[in-house]
Amino acid sequence: MRARLLVVLVTVVLAAVAGFAFPLLGTTAEQRTQQLVIARNADVDRFVVLAQQASDSADAAALAAEARRYAEVYSESVLVIDARRRVLASAGGLSLAQSDVSTRVEAALRNEAGPAVAPLRPWSHEPVLFARPVGSGTRVAGVVLLRASVARAANDVATWWAAIGAGALLAAMVFVVLAVLLARWVLRPLHELEGGVRAVSEGRHADLPATAGPRELRSLTTAFNRMSDAVVSASEQQRRLVADASHQLRNPMAALRLRMDSLAPSVGEPGQRGYHAAVAEVDRLESLLDGLLTLAIADSTATRLAAGDHAEEPSALETVAAERIDAWLPAAERAKIRLTGESGPAALVRCPESELAQILDVLLDNAIAYAGEDAEIRVRWTVGDGTATLTVSDTGPGLTDDEISLATQRFWRARREGAPRGTGLGLTIAHRQVGSRGGTLELRRADPRGLAALVTLPLAREDRS
């Protein structure tokens, strides 16, 4: 839009300047030509009078002297001939032998007017020939020819034209600058609105300045700010509700857990089954609560980071991976699964240690829960162009393509025989956390079987010191 607006404005500006400058060029050239013609005609007239006197007195000496002096002073040629084409006076090298001269002489003797002098241009250099018959009425007694140099007049035209050109250029520049300023003034609020839309889509307040630009856009900006505040506060409230609810539930959960644990010794044989089932439900409730809170935190982290807060420490992928593998080995052993980590290159990723650990925990937990006995889980990572990719792959039953597309949705669980009932939040949280750090989490089918989870995170610049 900016380019088009500028093209239109600049075209109009240039057309206006050109429309003003070109006629001016023509007028100045014509004026100077006119001056030249008038001045030379006066000279020619004088010679005509002198030639008349000479023919009357039959003495051309005075005329010849005058012509010589004229040629000396002005460096222009004069030729005077009588009706019988005899040279009465010649100075400066004009001669009847020259074709243009003889043509003009013949025309003048027939009392024909010469051609009009073409308007001068800065590059004109052909001398102009003036011819005038001597005598009055139909009796032509001779011809006065004057060859005038146009060099000075052309120089004057060049000076004028240069001045006009410079003036036009200056005016064009001023107008173009004005056009650019105008375009900026109109478009800046629009650019800011664009930034505002991005901010709102990332869950931030737009807070656009409504002080610049046309009045209509200013009121649009104000309205937009109000809308962004409403949107952001709505999503903020939703997040806070989840966070507060899961936080508030912690106390009753803690009391319930302690009561259940205290109850354990006093539960009799018949009640054991029911008691353990109840404890399992409490476990489930606890992990659901933790999951919801973590998800709410991950959401608010995404908002905070989108707002440009990158204060957190990066973490060393190899260290966290090694440590999480160590922590999950007992669980893997209990599930009769082989968990191995391949050491890869050192990678400092832009994600705090605790979150990277949480992401890995989700992936390892899922793999151990669903891969099944005798499966193998492998953790490895590679460093690419500005990113590190961590892969957790298993040789379990895997997921179908449909299931993979659903897996990162809230509360989705794989329906598998004998699989543990999870909260359905793990992958959602991991997905959110990776996303908030500018990375991606991708699930795909592993080769030849099983599931592979690929976490790609941006590398931190090595300036931690």
Partner 1 sequence: MRVLLVEDDDGVAGALAEALGARGHAVTRVTRGVDALGGHHEADLLLLDLGLPDIDGLDVLRKIRQVSAVPVLVLTARDDERSTVRGLRLGADDYLAKPVRLAELLARMDAVARRAGAGDEPQPDVVHVEDLEIDLAAHRVFAAGEEITLTAKEFAILAVLAARPGTAVSRQQLMDEVWGDAHLAVSRSLDVHLTWLRAKLDRPGLLGTVRGFGYRLGR
Contacts with partner 1, residue ranges (CB under 8 A): 247, 250-259, 261-262, 286, 297, 316, 318-319, 322-323, 326-330, 333, 353-354, 357, 464-465
User: Which of 238, 248 has the CB closer to partner 1?
Assistant: 248
Min dist. Cβ of residue 307 to partner 1 (A): 18
CB-nearer residue toward partner 1: 290 or 403: 290
Is-contact 154 121, C-beta < 8 A? yes
Q: How far is CA 376 from the centre of its chain?
A: 50
The least CB distance from residue 440 to partner 1, in Å, is 24
CA distances for 116 relative to 34, 135, 460, angstroms: 10, 21, 82
Between 320 and 453, CB nearer to partner 1: 320
CA angle in degrees (0–180, nearest 5) for 351-357-360 = 105
Output the six-digit token pair for 353.
């240690």
Which CB sits closer to partner 1, 257 or 445? 257
Q: What are phi and psi of 316, to 5 degrees?
A: -85, 115
Shortest Cβ 290–partner 1 spacing (Å): 8
The CB-of-443 to partner 1 minimum distance in angstroms stands at 26
Burial class of 279 by CB neighbour count within 10 A (0 to 12, 13 to 18, 19+) = middle
In angstroms, the Cα distances linking 338 to 204, 291, 377 are 44, 27, 6
* Shortest CB 331 distance to partner 1, Å: 9
Q: Judged by CB, which is closer to partner 1: 64, or 349? A: 349
Using N-to-C axis directions, what is the helix angle for 272-306 and 426-436, rounded to 10°? 20
In the bound state with partner 1, the residue whose beta carbon lies nearer, of 23 and 330, is 330
Closer of 246 and 428 to partner 1 (Cβ): 246
Are the CB atoms for 392 and 365 separated by under 8 Å? no
Shortest distance, position 346 Cβ to partner 1, whole Å: 9
Shortest distance, CB of residue 266 to partner 1, whole angstroms? 10
CB 394, min distance to partner 1, A: 18
Q: Which is nearer to partner 1, 190 or 329 (CB)?
A: 329
Question: Do strands 142-148 and 315-316 pair parallel, antiparallel, or not at all (unpaired)?
Answer: unpaired
- Which C-beta is closer to partner 1: that of 83 or that of 289? 289
Say which residue the tokens 């044989």 belong to: 269
Distance CA 8, CA 11 (A): 5
Nearer of residues 33 and 300 to partner 1, judged by Cβ: 300
Nearest distance from residue 273's CB to partner 1, in Å?
20
The rounded distance, in Å, linking the Cα atoms of 242 and 245 is: 5
Q: Tell me whether residue 55 or residue 246 sits nearer to partner 1 (CB atom).
A: 246
Shortest Å, Cβ 378 to partner 1: 16
CB 158 within 8 A of CB 186: no
Can you read off the two tokens belonging to residue 268? 């009799």
- The tokens of 277 are what? 């089932």
**Which two structure tokens, joined as six digits, stand for 267?**
């539960």
How far apart are CB 434 and partner 1 at their closest, in Å? Answer: 18
